[in-house]
Amino acid sequence: MPRIDEIADGVYRICVVYEDIGLQFNHFLVKDDEPLLFHAGLNAMFGDILDGVSKLIDPSTLKWVGFSHFESDECGSLNKWLELAPRAEPLCTSLGAMLSVNDFAIRPARGMNDGETLTTGSKTYRFCSTAHIPHGWDAGVLFEETEGTLFCSDLFTHFGEVEPLTGSDIVGRAKDSLLNMQQSPFAYYIPYTPQMKGIFDKLAALDAKTMAVMHGSSFTGDCGKALVELSSVIEETLG
Ligand SMILES: [Fe+2]
Ligand SMILES: [Fe+2]
């Protein structure tokens, strides 16, 4: 059974741990008139995630299945959700829809351009294109403007049995994990690119109050500062 915690108003973190590597995989369910799940999750975790979603809503009422980039932990079980929820639609960047999702998924995606918004009832989301950040040229992150929650995918990845939400040094944890990964197959999970700093600055300017992190604790506090610091850590480590 996954662990479920509310990390922001109406935003629930459904955590499944991949024990072999000591890494949390977090999926975020947002309750609203049109419920949204950010990160469909791995096929192998579908049963656990479904158990979690079923504790919060009737899963057949799911409307949006969003994700950052085309990768199995982001969208491997997308079609299972689309089969379960008849009105559900994939939600991703317009590039992601064009490149992969509209070929892979059993229903077409709502592909969103940079800055485009979507209202689901009481909440309004904006997709930000973030090419190659955290990875994949189709990558984007989703910002919920009403509560100030940034669904930031693999940014701030860190390992271990960590708490659902923290206000402490998430950048230090991400730096330690990045350094520890240097001798592993995950060494370059995030690339250093000349465009990187500008993308992080753009995300920092959103002034998010909470960041929903896929792997590790979510963060509440000065998200803009943390994003700028993470950019510097990546440049120092990989640049
Ligand atoms: Fe990823
Ligand atoms: Fe991931």
Q: Which two tokens stand for residue 68?
A: 């950052």
Contact (CB, 8 A) for 31 and 57: yes
Please give the pLDDT value at position 112.
Answer: 98
Question: How far, in Å, is the centroid of ligand 1 from the Cα of 178?
Answer: 14
Please give the pLDDT value at position 1.
Answer: 84
Question: How far, in Å, is the centroid of ligand 1 from the Cα of 187?
Answer: 13
Q: With 90 as the cut, is the pLDDT of residue 220 above it?
A: yes
Q: If you search the block for the tokens 């990989």, which residue do you land on?
A: 238
Question: How far, in Å, is the centroid of ligand 1 from the Cα of 188?
Answer: 11
Question: How far, in Å, is the centroid of ligand 2 from the Cα of 203?
Answer: 18
Contact (CB, 8 A) for 28 and 38: yes
Burial class (CB in 10 A: 0-12, 13-18, 19+), 88: buried
pTM of the predicted model, to two decimals? 0.98
pLDDT digits (tens, 9 = 90+) for 163-178: 999 999 999 999 999 9
Please give the pLDDT value at position 77.
Answer: 98
Angle, CA of 131, 199 and 38, to the nearest 5°: 60
Question: How far, in Å, is the centroid of ligand 2 from the Cα of 31?
Answer: 22
pLDDT classification of 92: cutoffs 50, 70, 90? very high
Contact (CB, 8 A) for 4 and 52: yes
Question: How far, in Å, is the centroid of ligand 1 from the Cα of 135?
Answer: 6
pLDDT digits (tens, 9 = 90+) for 113-160: 999 999 999 999 999 999 999 999 999 999 999 999 999 999 999 999
**For residues 64 and 198, what is the distance between their CA atoms, to the nearest angstrom?**
29
Question: How far, in Å, is the centroid of ligand 2 from the Cα of 59?
Answer: 22
